[in-house]
């Protein structure tokens, strides 16, 4: 019978991996937990049993958009389905309940908040219900009270109302701990667990460290004209700003975050689904209910707070099975924002001990995410290992596998940075420390007279990017750590202190720079020198008094287009920016 339903209702000749085992387990009456990657066909696993069993199947789902998409799809396949959520008027809601009681629907999607509604509980007592399916089951653990506290009521609902209903739950992301939480918090008994594996072979993973993230994003999108993609940011204001800047360049971008009105969010979502807006700029509020198969790329413009979030969001690409790209832009400042969010989340209703435990748990997740961003191994390996799986060979397709590397001896540089931290009494964060060893003249150097300290300018022959790469290595290798507060003060670890006393050889993998990129930077550098020469004649000052060559080199690499980007460059202060900065920015805006 299941094969007949598969062909007649859904048009498929065979099941995907894991689907048949899950369906058989549900039909046999087992409590079933299925962990399947996004795009693996989870919904089919409860929809087919729903059609084979008598009575009604309740599907508890967290998002209205997801319910609407699923019900629309089922109705198009000739399957009677409905949803019960806040978008229905009172009259529509009670009409749907009445029709459901009469057996007009086989599948009913319901928001978890409805489980406590008197009218819904009255319906449950009268209706013939055969199965309850929990979609996005990780909500009970990963977000819990912060995201959908009603998920924590499911266990009580099942225990009070269940008349031997079949019970199944589905999620795409679950570590061992989340897996245990789902089983315990949902009250599942003698669970049949089915894992089809986390590996999405059609997804190509990359991590980039762009000196100019906006410029890199524009270039990335320009190279993929006509393709649909999602760009994730941490904060709403970042979404607003990025969307506005892309639109100003003529890119068909829409935006989505919780601070927008329902009408605007829904309109933008529809525009994205129907390819009127190819690019969606969003916070993580977007995506869970979107079943758009042809998303060709997901760019994380900001680093998410956990690998669970990252993999779920990245997994929205390539649901049609075709190749898709998942890019993470790593920027250290994102970590500061995320740490602030962790420390200032809503702790209402929990005691101090629970608060500390939650913060510690979120720290660990963030550290795992940061580990992914900084790792030098195969990115697919890293993800699969985090979720408890192993892979015998490198994927050969991620950014770490594809790039050519050369080994660089960084022993002396690392030792110098540790010595500089000691000279600074470990009272500063990454930015000040790197500008200190670089020998930059910044307001912080002047304010604290740091240029008078030993090791100031000790690594002036290194570019800022080289120094940032070395610092990332030191974090990843456990030589240094940063304080768990907003200041992110650098501290050496016991391993770092041992290395400082008894240095041993350290080598770092460094990308071999493409020759054309070097040539391109050299061409820009020469144009900057020409501009500097013109300005020196205009203002009657020596060229080096405007900006030295090392500053122009960094400009050629960063290519700043606004004040904020210009001031991030070593050797550019407020005074020089006011006098000369606008000429260089104008040059870059005109694609110097």
Q: What is the CATH number of the domain that holds 526?
A: 1.10.150.80
Residues 356, 369: contact at Cβ < 8 Å?
A: no
Q: Which residues contact 12 (CB under 8 A, 6 or more apart)?
A: 6
pLDDT of amino acid 521: 65
The residue among 359, 380, 402 that closes a domain is 402
166 in the same domain as 42 = yes
Neighbours of 181 (CB within 10 A): 18
Residues 120, 86: contact at Cβ < 8 Å?
A: no
Picking from 149, 199, 261, 209, the residue whose alpha carbon sits closest to that of residue 40 is: 199
Phi, psi of 23, rounded to the nearest 5 degrees: -60, -45
397 in the same domain as 267 = yes
pLDDT digits (tens, 9 = 90+) for 221-280: 999 989 999 999 999 999 999 999 999 999 999 999 999 998 999 899 989 988 999 999
Residue 314 belongs to a domain with what CATH number? 3.40.50.300
Gap between the Cα atoms of 388 and 394, Å rounded: 16
Tell how far CA 463 is from the center of its chain: 29
461 in the same domain as 556 = no
520 in the same domain as 506 = no
What is the 3-state secondary structure of 347-399?
CCCCCHHHHHHHHHHHHHHHHHHHHHHHCCCCHHHHHHHHCCCCCCCCCCCCH
| Strand 203-208 with 324-329, pairing | parallel
pLDDT of amino acid 549: 80
Tell how far CA 270 is from the center of its chain: 22
Domain that holds residue 582: 515-589
144 in the same domain as 186 = yes
Q: Which residues contact 193 (CB under 8 A, 6 or more apart)?
A: 32, 33, 35, 179
Q: Which residues contact 351 (CB under 8 A, 6 or more apart)?
A: none
Q: Residue 578 gets which letter from DSSP?
A: I
10 in the same domain as 110 = yes
Q: Which residues contact 52 (CB under 8 A, 6 or more apart)?
A: 1, 2, 5, 27
Q: Strand pairing partners for 297? A: 229, 325
495 in the same domain as 536 = no
pLDDT of amino acid 570: 80
Low-confidence ranges of the chain (pLDDT < 70): 142-148, 162-163, 289, 484-486, 511-522, 591-592
441 in the same domain as 340 = no
Instruction: Give the number of domains in the chain.
Output: 4
pLDDT digits (tens, 9 = 90+) for 408-464: 999 999 999 999 999 999 999 998 999 999 998 887 898 999 999 999 999 999 988
pLDDT of amino acid 35: 92
185 in the same domain as 80 = yes
Q: What is the pTM of this model?
A: 0.71
Gap between the Cα atoms of 196 and 198, Å rounded: 7
What is the torsional sign of CA 133, 42, 151, 189?
positive
144 in the same domain as 111 = yes
Picking from 261, 55, 38, 207, the residue whose alpha carbon sits closest to that of residue 138 is: 38
The residue among 354, 382, 402 that closes a domain is 402
398 in the same domain as 423 = no
The residue among 511, 536, 552 that closes a domain is 511
Q: Which two tokens stand for residue 212?
A: 């100019």
Picking from 457, 481, 482, 478, the residue whose alpha carbon sits closest to that of residue 467 is: 457
Picking from 328, 273, 291, 279, the residue whose alpha carbon sits closest to that of residue 306 is: 328
What is the torsional sign of CA 514, 515, 518, 519?
negative
277 in the same domain as 366 = yes
Picking from 186, 298, 319, the residue whose alpha carbon sits closest to that of residue 233 is: 298
């Amino acid at each position: 019978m299941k094969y007949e339903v598969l062909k007649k209702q859904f048009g498929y000749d065979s099941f995907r991996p894991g689907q048949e085992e899950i369906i058989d387990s549900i039909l046999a009456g087992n409590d079933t937990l299925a962990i399947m990657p996004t795009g693996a066909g989870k919904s089919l696993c409860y929809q087919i049993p729903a059609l084979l069993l008598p009575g009604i199947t309740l599907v508890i789902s967290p998002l209205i958009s997801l319910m609407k998409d699923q019900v629309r799809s089922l109705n198009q396949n000739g399957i009677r389905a409905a949803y019960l959520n806040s978008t229905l008027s009172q009259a529509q809601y009670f009409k749907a309940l009445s029709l459901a009681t009469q057996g007009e629907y086989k599948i009913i999607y319901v928001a978890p908040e409805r489980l406590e509604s008197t009218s819904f509980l009255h319906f449950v007592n009268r209706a013939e219900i055969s199965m309850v399916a929990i979609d996005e089951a990780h909500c009970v653990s990963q977000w819990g009270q912060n995201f959908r506290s009603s998920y924590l009521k499911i266990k009580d609902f099942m225990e009070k109302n269940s008349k031997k209903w079949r019970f199944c739950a589905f999620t795409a992301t679950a570590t061992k701990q989340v897996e245990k939480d789902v089983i315990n918090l949902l009250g599942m008994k003698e669970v049949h667990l089915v894992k089809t594996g986390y590996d999405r072979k059609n997804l190509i993973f990359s991590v980039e460290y762009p000196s100019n993230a906006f410029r890199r994003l524009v270039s990335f999108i320009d190279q993929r004209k006509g393709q649909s993609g999602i760009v994730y940011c941490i904060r709403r204001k970042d979404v607003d700003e990025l969307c506005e800047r892309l639109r100003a360049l003529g890119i068909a971008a829409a935006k989505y975050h919780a601070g927008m009105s329902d009408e605007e969010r829904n309109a933008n979502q529809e525009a994205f689904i129907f390819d009127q807006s190819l690019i969606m700029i969003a916070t993580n509020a977007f995506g869970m209910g979107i079943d758009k198969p042809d998303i060709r790329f997901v760019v994380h413009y900001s680093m998410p707070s956990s690998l669970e979030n990252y993999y779920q969001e990245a997994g929205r690409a390539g649901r049609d099975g075709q190749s898709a790209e998942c890019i993470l832009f790593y920027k250290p400042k994102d970590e500061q924002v995320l740490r602030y969010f962790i420390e200032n989340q809503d702790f209402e209703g929990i005691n101090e001990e629970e608060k500390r435990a939650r913060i510690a748990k979120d720290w660990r997740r963030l550290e795992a995410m940061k580990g992914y961003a900084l790792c030098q191994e195969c990115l697919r390996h890293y993800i699969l290992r985090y979720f408890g799986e192993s892979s015998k060979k490198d994927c050969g397709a991620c950014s770490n596998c594809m790039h050519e590397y050369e080994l660089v001896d960084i022993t002396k540089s690392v030792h110098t940075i540790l010595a500089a931290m000691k000279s600074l009494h470990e009272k500063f964060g990454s930015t000040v420390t790197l500008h200190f060893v670089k020998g930059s003249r910044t307001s912080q150097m002047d304010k604290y007279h740091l240029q008078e300290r030993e090791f100031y300018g000790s690594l002036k022959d290194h570019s800022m990017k080289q120094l940032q790469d070395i610092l990332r290595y030191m974090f990843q290798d456990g030589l240094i750590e940063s304080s768990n507060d907003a200041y992110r003060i650098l501290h050496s670890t016991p391993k770092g202190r041992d290395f400082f006393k008894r240095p041993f050889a350290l080598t770092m993998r460094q990308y071999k720079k493409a020759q054309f990129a070097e040539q391109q930077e050299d061409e820009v550098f020469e144009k900057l020198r020409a501009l500097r020469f013109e300005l020196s004649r205009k203002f009657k000052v020596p060229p080096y008094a405007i900006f030295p060559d090392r500053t122009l080199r960094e400009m050629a690499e960063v290519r700043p287009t606004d004040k904020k980007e210009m001031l991030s460059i070593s050797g550019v202060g407020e005074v020089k920016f006011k006098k000369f900065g606008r000429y260089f920015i104008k040059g870059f805006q005109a694609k110097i």
